[in-house]
Structure 1
Amino acid sequence: MDTALIIGGTRFIGRHLTEELLDSGYDVTLFNRGTRENPFADHDDVSQYTGDRTSGAALKEANEAVAPDLVVDCVAYYPGEVDMAVDVFDDVEAYVYISSGAAYEPDTIPKREDETALRPCSEEQAVDDSHETYGARKAEGDRIVFEAAEEGVNAMSVRPTIVYGPYDYTGRYKYWVDRIKSSDRVLAPGDGTNIHHLVSVYNTVRAIRQVGEHGVPGEAYNAGDHRVLTLRELLEQTADAVGADPEFVWANGRELAEAELAPTDFPLYNPNVHILSTEKLKAIGWAPVTPAESIERTVPWDGETERDPGPDRAAEQEVLDSL
């Protein structure tokens, strides 16, 4: 394969995926509405096709104009969008749908692609735009991919857990980087043993390319960093990469409640252990970088984010002053 069409491509995962594919010798076309600045506007091997991904006619025109070998769908948030895409791209060598680890039912540890149940998705959830239905909608997109593969479409799914790295517009990891850079004392929830499996954007895009080139139609592949870090380990490795030595002040739920805070107000804290098995991805040749390397490459990024996650600074300081 040497020609790729990325649906999306200018923000976070798609931006890094474009670089990954360029480094692997692909000619890349970005399909999006053109409402955001294109960081690859001056790159000879990157083209842009402007259109609305919710339009089947626009997707079909892009497919005919580009004739891609590989299609990566970075911005399919509703099952109907996936259903439309697998119909339009039924002739490509690989269609890769970016799903999510949130597609799984929550209680299994670790979550395995061929064993762990997916969340159900009602008709109402399939068209809802709330955070609460995100996992259900991604799960339904997976089921559409599996059905399309049974009908002969070379469709596959990648399920990343929470992704971190430069250009992450959610600000979830950057919240901690900023606190560590700016504070001598950093408030953190719990006792540091909380585990929510993360995946660097570098490992995510390597996974997407590997699945596109070597994945099996009708299969899903989890993507998570090869080593799972506790929240304490994540913050300590981040501090090492920053070159700082703050005091991490761990506060339990009762202590946080004094300032009307809860542990879940802090980014990357999950009260339930969340781990994805990555054995299936490794079996097709995925070679991940370490969390330490990913963190080292991420902390220098100081760009703007679209969200400002985390507690109010005054509330944080109130808890710090009490401990």
Structure 2
Amino acid sequence: MVMRISTLCLLAVLPSAAAYSVLIIGGTRFSGAALWKELHSRGHAVTCYNRAKTPPRPIPKESEENFQNRLTLADFIKGDRQDPEQLRAKIDPTQYDYVFDMNAREESDTRPLAELFVGSNLKQYVFMSSAGVYLKSEEMPHLERDPVDPQSRHKGKLDSEDCLRSLGVPFCSFRPTYICGPGNYNPVERYFFERIDNNRPVCIPGHGQHLTGFGHVEDLAVAMANVIDREHITTGKVYNVQNAQAITFDGVAKVAAQVMGKGDAEIVHYDPKSLTFPEGKKAFPMRPQHFFTGIQQAMDDLDWTPTYDTVESILKDAYENDFVHVKAAGGLKGDFECDDVVLHAAGVMA
């Protein structure tokens, strides 16, 4: 059952006169939850469509009172996006001004939903893609006009963008690099924190000087929300999102140790091609190559600037408002099996 909020309730939280009905596909995990919070703060009526496997919960730094207010004013539809019949039965395309598709991985995820909005009055279909679609290049940073890699493991994102384009649905697409911040379920920041916290070396593939791009989840949410009322600019475009600068892998380890108050990080470099790691395990959370993007187009079109404008500010927030709490709750995995392979080969004691 879908609960509808009253116009009076909505107007009571409006920061401005313009409020819209927004459908988020996902909305309760990480980037989707941050987007829901951002849209709610602007007074928009938010509906989350997902399988209800992850119950809504407060975002780190969000008070219980604010969370309950956000929860009360939202609508929830339980359904499987991969089931076209469920989509047609549960989603009325005439009810939504904007769609934010946060979790499509393949064209088969995207097409059934997008087809609902063909010929509708939808202002914009905002698609979460990935900077991982770009073809590896010797000229950096990646810009939105750069060639894409049809063999990318994110090929489904590219196919989804092509699908939206072919259907004529007014859309724009976001291509973030590594999304970070409190609540991140991908062990990007935690990889560094957990090793430094355990006084272990940080194992880094290659020479450690590969440059990579981090972006804070709150900045991503603001950029995506800023599409609203800018569809005359954004339709048909893609937007890179990350911090304004890039940082080396070694630099990430050093900054992580700094925000943790641990002094210098011990770093061990290795050649990933010369070692065999346990099957199914990932030795390092980032791709061993230069991987960062230019964000000027997003800054110009969306009137957007990252608030977390240094890796230090991103890691500090992730450490203070996530890692220390997860550790206190006993939620760390403490899995260093891949590290031990590296350290044994290097003759280094953990």
Q: TM-score, normalised by structure 1?
A: 0.83
Answer yes or no: is 1:271 the counterpart of 2:288: yes
Match of 2:271 in 1: 253
Answer yes or no: is 1:299 the counterpart of 2:325: no
Contact 2:240 2:295 (C-alpha < 8 Å) held by counterparts: yes
Match of 1:58 in 2: 86
Amino acid of the structure 2 residue aligned with 1:135: H
Answer yes or no: is 1:312 the counterpart of 2:338: yes
Distance 1:282 1:243 in 2: 33
Distance 2:285 2:83 in 1: 34
Shift of 1:53: 0.7
3-state SS in 1 of match to 2:92: helix
Match of 1:35 in 2: 53
Match of 2:129 in 1: 99
Distance 1:28 1:87 in 2: 21
Structure 1 residues 164 and 54: CA distance shift in structure 2, 3 A = same
Deviations 1:263-308 (A, max 9, x none): x954244332122121110112112121322222111313488998
Amino acid of the structure 2 residue aligned with 1:93: K
Shift of 1:212: 4.2
> Could you tell which deviates more after superposition, 277-286 or 87-96?
87-96
Structure 1 residues 265 and 65: CA distance shift in structure 2, 3 A = closer
Match of 1:128 in 2: none
Distance 1:74 1:314 in 2: 36
Distance 1:224 1:164 in 2: 10
Distance 2:130 2:82 in 1: 20
Distance 1:319 1:246 in 2: 23
3-state SS in 1 of match to 2:290: coil
Deviations 1:129-157 (A, max 9, x none): xxxx5321111111122233xx3x22111
Structure 1 residues 209 and 314: CA distance shift in structure 2, 3 A = same
Contact 2:130 2:176 (C-alpha < 8 Å) held by counterparts: yes
Distance 1:212 1:310 in 2: 44
Structure 1 residues 19 and 308: CA distance shift in structure 2, 3 A = farther
Contact 1:266 1:309 (C-alpha < 8 Å) held by counterparts: no
Match of 1:110 in 2: 141
Percent identical: 20
Shift of 1:320: 6.3
Distance 1:250 1:213 in 2: 49
Answer yes or no: is 1:172 the counterpart of 2:188: yes
Structure 1 residues 29 and 308: CA distance shift in structure 2, 3 A = farther
3-state SS in 1 of match to 2:284: coil
Structure 1 residues 183 and 308: CA distance shift in structure 2, 3 A = closer
3-state SS in 1 of match to 2:172: strand
Structure 1 residues 70 and 308: CA distance shift in structure 2, 3 A = farther
Contact 1:186 1:246 (C-alpha < 8 Å) held by counterparts: no
Answer yes or no: is 1:158 the counterpart of 2:174: yes
